[in-house]
């Protein structure tokens, strides 16, 4: 892949809705855009969130990007690889999703 070869427009994912949610929907988008391959490529992916999208739920974000966030190990490294183009309000939601992806769950319900 060439630098900036991948551009994902959340308008295509949204299917006409203004709020994108659901872990499984995010996981399906991850498979659709082959993000495991993108992660390994070292290329930059541009993620466009159009102004008509009002919300990206943490569940969707985590389904789509949690594995990538964990792979890169930090917010800064993840954002070097995934360039989000979005309004400030949407960037706040994305940053919360990154933080949640980096947070280790410690409660007894999460122990195996």
- Per-residue pLDDT for the chain (112 aa), expressed as one digit of tens each? 444 468 999 999 888 889 999 999 999 999 999 999 999 988 899 999 999 999 999 999 999 999 999 999 999 999 999 999 999 999 999 999 999 999 866 544 444 4
Residues 6+ apart with CB under 8 A from 28: 63
Q: What is the pLDDT of residue 3?
A: 45
- CA neighbor of 91 nearest in space, from 102, 79, 81: 79
Q: What is the pLDDT of residue 111?
A: 44
Distance CA 29, CA 61 (A): 10
Q: What is the pTM of this model?
A: 0.85
Q: What is the pLDDT of residue 4?
A: 45
Q: What is the pLDDT of residue 110?
A: 47
CB–CB of 24/63 below 8 Å? yes
Bridge partner residues of 19 (DSSP) = 55
Burial 57-83 (b: 16+ CB within 10 A, else e): bbbbbbbbbbbbbeebeeeeebbebbe
The alpha carbon torsion through 12, 15, 20, 25 (nearest 10 deg) reads: -80
Q: What is the pLDDT of residue 36?
A: 95
């Amino acid at each position: 892949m060439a630098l900036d070869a991948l551009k994902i427009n959340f308008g295509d994912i949204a299917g006409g809705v203004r709020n994108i949610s659901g872990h499984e929907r995010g996981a399906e988008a991850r498979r659709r855009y082959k993000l495991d391959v993108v992660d390994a490529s070292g290329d930059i992916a541009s993620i466009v969130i159009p102004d008509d999208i009002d919300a990206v739920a943490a569940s969707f974000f985590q389904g789509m990007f949690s594995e990538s966030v964990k792979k890169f190990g930090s917010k800064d490294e993840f954002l070097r690889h995934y360039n989000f183009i979005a309004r400030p309000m949407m960037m706040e939601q994305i940053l919360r999703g990154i933080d949640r992806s980096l947070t280790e769950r410690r409660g007894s319900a999460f122990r195996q």
